[in-house]
A and B are shown apart, each in its own frame.
Chain A
Amino acid sequence: MPSGPSRSDVLESEALHLIREVAAEFDRPALLFSGGKDSAVLLRLAEKAFAPAPIPFPVLHVDTGHNFDEVLEFRDRRVAELGVRLVVAGVQDSIDAGRVAEPTGRWPSRNRAQTVTLLDAVAEHRFDALFGGARRDEERARAKERMLSFRDSFGQWDPRNQRPELWNVYNGLIRPGESVRAFPLSNWTERDVWTYVERDGVELPPLYFAHTRKVFERDGMLLADNPFLHRDPDEPLVERSVRFRTVGDMTCTGAVPSEASTVSEVLAEIAATRVTERGQTRADDRTSAAAMEDRKREGYF
C-alpha cells in the first residue's frame, strides 16, 4: 500500500497554493529572481502553478551590479526560455540618481542599498505583491515571517503586528500603496531545496557546483576574486576547488571548499556540514545579531 504524498510533494503543493492565491488576488504581482537556487526553484514552482499556461506575472531582478557573470547569463536564459518579462532594477542607477550612497569600507556590500532600489521599483511599476524565495530556516528574523507578509505603504515590516495566518487561508486584501511579500518556500530547508532540485531536475548556475576559482580568505570566508572588493596585501589569491551555497552580491558571498560536482554530492555535503548556509557564506548577516531584522523592517524582502 503506497503511503501518502512525499514531503517534497506536500511542500510543493503548499507553495503552488500560495502562488495561485497571490496571482488571483493581486493586480500586479512580480517574482523576485536573483538567479540563486531558491529563486530558481521558486521560478520553477511558478511555472508549474499555471502550466500549461505561461507565468502570468513578470520577474524582477534587483541587480546590485556586483553579480557573478554566470548568474546573469543564467537569469537571461531562464526568462527567455519561459517567455516571461524581466524587469531589472539596478542599484547602480539608484547610486547614480543619488538615492543611495555607494557603500565603502572593508565590506562594501550593496545588499542594504538594494532595499531602496527594490522599493523604488515597487513604486515605479506599482507592484502590489512580490514573491520571494526566502526560507524561514535561513535566519532567525526570517523564522518570524508569515507566508504572506504584509508591508505598509513604506514597504515596512512590523513583526509585532503581523496578520494572523490560519490554515491555508491567506488574507490578500490591502489598500492602495500597501503591498505584500509572498514566501512560498517558507517551510523548505536548504536540504528540501536541493532534494527538489534533484527530483525536478531544476537547473542552477554552475557556481553551485565545484569548480576551480581564484579566491582569497577574509574573516574565515573564501571570497571570489572580483573588482569590487579591495584586497589587502595579506590576503593573497589562491586557486581552490570551491562551490557556493548561496549566490548574491560578490562582495559578501563566500564560497566553500568543495569537490561536489553533482546534486547528489551536494546533498551529501549538506548532510555532513557543521555550518549553516548563511553563517558560512553571508558577510552581511554577521554585522549584528539583528542585521536581517533591521533590513527587513526597512523593506528588504
Chain B
Amino acid sequence: MSPSSPAGPAVPADALPGTAADADGFTPADGLLRFATAGAVDDGKSTLIGRLLHDSKSLLADQVEALEQASAERGDDVLDLAMLTDGLRAEREQGITIDVAHRYFETARRAFIIADTPGHAQYTRNMVTGASTADLAIVLVDARHGLTEQSRRHAVLAGLLRVPEVVLAVNKMDLVDYDEQVFRDVAAEFAEFVGHGCTAIPLSALHGDNVVERSAAMPWYEGPALLEHLEQVRIADDNSTMDFRMPVQCVIRAPERDYRGYAGQISGGSVAAGDEVLHLPSGMRSRVSSVDTADGALVSAQAPLSISLRLADDIDVGRGDLLCAAANAPEPADELSATVCWMTAAAPLRPGTRLLFKHTTRTVKAVVTEVRHRLDVTTLSREPAAELGLNDIGEVGLRLAQPIFCDPYERNRLTGGGVLIDETTHATAGAVLITEANPGTRS
C-alpha cells in the first residue's frame, strides 16, 4: 500500500493553470494550436466561438446564410452565433451545448482546433475529453457574476489535466458598461483562486469587443484581443528534453522481406538510430537499428510521431510493452495513487470496485483499494469521502493485476494518464491521472 499523500493544498500549486514551465511535450506543431473552451451555461461560449469564426472570416457564405436563416426563423434580428456550434437538434432547441464539438479555422499565422466543451456540470466528462489534448484552455466567465462553481471547476480541471496555458476570458463586458474595475475584480478573484495570475482578457462575444479586433469601448485595456493572443502565445516546448517513451501498439512482420518492426506513437522525447533502449517488461536492453516509416527510415523521430522501430537484438516485444530511454526508465508498478475524475452515473467508485484500466496500449484489471478524499472544486479543499460519484474528482489508490510502466502525469500526460473501463458495460468510467506509482509487494 502506498503512503497517503501528505497534507497540504489539494492541488499542488504548480498543477494549476498557467504554469507552462513543465509542459509535457504537447506543443503546437507548425502553427497548429489545439484549445478548449470552458465556462458555465449561458456564459457565452458558443457565441464566443461563433464570433471568433465569424470575425476572423473563417465562415463561408453558405454557413452565414444558414445562420441568417436560422436566426430569422427564431425572430432574432441579430445573428445567433451560438447556432453555428450547437450541432445537435436538442442543442439548438434547448440553446445549450451537450457534447464536445470540434471546430477548425485558420488565420495567416496559425491553424486552430477548438474543442468546444459544454458547461453543464453533468457534462464535466466532456470538458475532460476536450481538455486532455489541449495546448490551451479558455475559461469563460460572465463579468456580471464573477467566478461560479462551474468556472472554478473548469479552472481546476484545466490545472489537473495540465493544459499548458489558461486564458481567462471575462465576457459580457457590454453588460457592465465596459467597467475596468469589474474586469480587475474578476481577474483578481481568478488569480486568487488558482494561486497566480494568468492572461485575462475583457471582451464581449456578442458585440465582438476584443475577440478578433481590439475594442474602442475599453481603452483602459492594453493587452491583445483574444485571437491575437491565440496566434502569438508560445506553448513551452520541453518535448526534446523528455525521456523517450514509446508504448508498442503492434508488431509489424513482413517475412518475405525479413522485416520485424515494433509500431507505436512516440509519447515522449525522441529516438534515433543507434540509441540504446530498454524494453519493459523484460528489462532487456538493445540498440535501435532503424527508425522506420512507410516513407523510409528516419535519422531520428520525436513525439508525437507514429513510427516503427527495429532493434539490433532479438527480444520478445509485443503489444502493451514499452520501449523507452535506457538511462531513465519507469519502474514497473502495480500500486498507483491517482487523481480520478469519475465519469459514470451507473455506480460510484468505492473501495473494492473492480475495473479495467487502459494505460497506453496495455489494459489490465484493477481494483480500488482506497478513496482518500474528494476535491471540493469551489474551495480547492479536500473533504473526506467514502466514494466518488458522477463528476467527482478525488484521490484514490488502485491495485493492478499486472504491472504497468508509467510516469507521473505531471511529467508526461500520455504515460501518466489512463482510463478506467467498466468490466460489464465497457463504458469509459473514469480518467486516471497518476500521481505516484509503487512497485507492489507482490513481486
Closest residue of B by beta carbon distance from A16: B306
Q: Which residues of B contact A175 (CB under 8 A)?
A: 426
Q: Which residues of B contact A14 (CB under 8 A)?
A: 265, 304, 306
CA–CA, A53 to B255, complex, Å?
Answer: 9
Name the contact of A53 in the complex, choosing from B61, B103, B254 (C-beta under 8 A): B254
Q: Are A13 and B306 in touch, CB under 8 angstroms? A: yes
CA–CA, A139 to B431, complex, Å?
Answer: 29
Q: Is A98 an interface residue (CB 8 A)?
A: no
CA–CA, A6 to B305, complex, Å?
Answer: 10
Given contacts A10-B32, A24-B249, A136-B104, are A144 and B88 in contact (CB under 8 A)?
A: yes
In the assembled complex, how far is the CB of residue B256 from the closest CB belonging to chain A, in whole angstroms?
A: 9
Given contacts A143-B87, A144-B87, A167-B414, are A21 and B358 in contact (CB under 8 A)?
A: no
Q: What are the interface flags for B330-371 relative to A under an 8 Å C-beta threshold, 1 for contact and 0 otherwise?
A: 000000000000010000000000001011110100000000
Q: Is A20 an interface residue (CB 8 A)?
A: yes
CA–CA, A162 to B100, complex, Å?
Answer: 10
Q: Which residues of B contact A166 (CB under 8 A)?
A: 128-129, 132-133, 417, 419, 431
Q: Are B60 and A279 in touch, CB under 8 angstroms? A: yes
| Segment with Cβ contacts to A, from B23-31, B377-385, B400-408 | B23-31
Given contacts A7-B30, A20-B263, A137-B104, are A290 and B89 in contact (CB under 8 A)?
A: yes
| Segment with Cβ contacts to B, from A86-94, A240-248, A270-278 | A270-278
Q: Which residues of A contact B19 (CB under 8 A)?
A: none
Q: Which residues of B contact A144 (CB under 8 A)?
A: 87-88, 99-101
Closest residue of B by beta carbon distance from A165: B129
Q: Which residues of B contact A50 (CB under 8 A)?
A: 252, 263
Q: Is B102 an interface residue (CB 8 A)?
A: yes
CA–CA, A280 to B102, complex, Å?
Answer: 21
Q: What are the interface flags for B88-104 relative to A under an 8 Å C-beta threshold, 1 for contact and 0 otherwise?
A: 11101000001111111
In the assembled complex, how far is the CB of residue B154 from the closest CB belonging to chain A, in whole angstroms?
A: 16
CA–CA, A48 to B413, complex, Å?
Answer: 26
Name the contact of A164 in the complex, choosing from B103, B239, B305, B343 (C-beta under 8 A): B343
Q: Is B145 an interface residue (CB 8 A)?
A: no
In the assembled complex, how far is the CB of residue A54 from the closest CB belonging to chain B, in whole angstroms?
A: 8
CA–CA, A150 to B228, complex, Å?
Answer: 38
CA–CA, A166 to B339, complex, Å?
Answer: 14
Given contacts A7-B29, A163-B428, are A52 and B60 in contact (CB under 8 A)?
A: no
Q: Are A7 and B263 in touch, CB under 8 angstroms? A: no
Given contacts A140-B85, A166-B419, A293-B88, are A21 and B249 in contact (CB under 8 A)?
A: yes
Q: Is A47 an interface residue (CB 8 A)?
A: yes
Q: Is B237 an interface residue (CB 8 A)?
A: yes
Q: Are A10 and B304 in touch, CB under 8 angstroms? A: yes
Tell me the residues in window 1-29 of chain A with beta carbons closer than 8 Å to chain B beta carbons: 3-7, 9-10, 12-14, 16-17, 20-21, 23-24
CA–CA, A10 to B3, complex, Å?
Answer: 40
Q: Are A143 and B32 in touch, CB under 8 angstroms? A: no
CA–CA, A52 to B128, complex, Å?
Answer: 37
Q: Are A20 and B250 in touch, CB under 8 angstroms? A: yes
Q: Is B63 an interface residue (CB 8 A)?
A: yes
Q: Are A51 and B104 in touch, CB under 8 angstroms? A: no
Name the contact of B259 in the complex, choosing from A24, A53, A279 (C-beta under 8 A): A53
Q: Is B293 an interface residue (CB 8 A)?
A: yes
Q: Is A58 an interface residue (CB 8 A)?
A: no
In the assembled complex, how far is the CB of residue B343 from the closest CB belonging to chain A, in whole angstroms?
A: 5
Q: Are B111 and A7 in touch, CB under 8 angstroms? A: yes
CA–CA, A173 to B294, complex, Å?
Answer: 29
CA–CA, A53 to B133, complex, Å?
Answer: 31
Interface-central residue, A47, A167, A187, by most chain B CB under 10 Å: A167
CA–CA, A36 to B295, complex, Å?
Answer: 23
Given contacts A52-B252, A187-B113, A293-B87, are A163 and B30 in contact (CB under 8 A)?
A: no
Given contacts A159-B99, A160-B98, A168-B414, are A289 and B62 in contact (CB under 8 A)?
A: no
Q: Is B442 an interface residue (CB 8 A)?
A: no
CA–CA, A13 to B246, complex, Å?
Answer: 13
CA–CA, A112 to B5, complex, Å?
Answer: 56
Q: Which residues of B contact A118 (CB under 8 A)?
A: none
Q: Which residues of B contact A23 (CB under 8 A)?
A: 250
In the assembled complex, how far is the CB of residue A194 from the closest CB belonging to chain B, in whole angstroms?
A: 14
Given contacts A165-B129, A275-B61, are A141 and B90 in contact (CB under 8 A)?
A: no
Name the contact of A169 in the complex, choosing from B319, B418, B427 (C-beta under 8 A): B418
Q: Is A226 an interface residue (CB 8 A)?
A: no
In the assembled complex, how far is the CB of residue A55 from the closest CB belonging to chain B, in whole angstroms?
A: 11
CA–CA, A284 to B152, complex, Å?
Answer: 43
CA–CA, A21 to B362, complex, Å?
Answer: 11
Q: Is A212 an interface residue (CB 8 A)?
A: no
Q: Are B129 and A4 in touch, CB under 8 angstroms? A: no
Q: Are A53 and B265 in touch, CB under 8 angstroms? A: no
CA–CA, A94 to B84, complex, Å?
Answer: 36
In the assembled complex, how far is the CB of residue B429 from the closest CB belonging to chain A, in whole angstroms?
A: 9
Q: Are B62 and A275 in touch, CB under 8 angstroms? A: yes
Q: Is A171 an interface residue (CB 8 A)?
A: yes
CA–CA, A221 to B206, complex, Å?
Answer: 34
Given contacts A13-B306, A144-B100, are A167 and B259 in contact (CB under 8 A)?
A: no
In the assembled complex, how far is the CB of residue B415 from the closest CB belonging to chain A, in whole angstroms?
A: 10
CA–CA, A10 to B90, complex, Å?
Answer: 34
Q: Are A167 and B132 in touch, CB under 8 angstroms? A: yes
Q: Is B204 an interface residue (CB 8 A)?
A: no
Given contacts A6-B29, A9-B29, are A164 and B126 in contact (CB under 8 A)?
A: yes
Closest 10 CB pairs of A and B: A140-B87, A279-B62, A48-B294, A51-B294, A16-B306, A173-B426, A13-B306, A166-B132, A17-B265, A20-B249
A-B contact pairs, 17 of them (CB 8 A): A7-B31, A9-B29, A9-B30, A20-B263, A20-B306, A51-B294, A52-B252, A137-B103, A140-B85, A144-B100, A144-B101, A164-B431, A169-B417, A169-B418, A173-B356, A173-B426, A275-B62
Interface residues of B (CB under 8 A from A): 27, 29-32, 60-63, 66, 70, 84-90, 92, 98-104, 106, 111, 113, 125-126, 128-129, 132-133, 237, 239, 249-250, 252-254, 257, 259, 263-265, 267, 293-295, 302, 304-306, 319, 343, 356, 358-361, 363, 413-414, 417-419, 421, 426-428, 431
Contacts A5-B302, A165-B129, A167-B413 supplied; 5 other A-B pairs, CB < 8 Å:
A9-B305, A10-B30, A16-B306, A47-B294, A189-B111
Interface residues of A (CB under 8 A from B): 3-7, 9-10, 12-14, 16-17, 20-21, 23-24, 47-53, 136-137, 139-144, 159-160, 162-169, 171, 173-175, 186-187, 189, 191, 273-276, 279-280, 289-290, 293
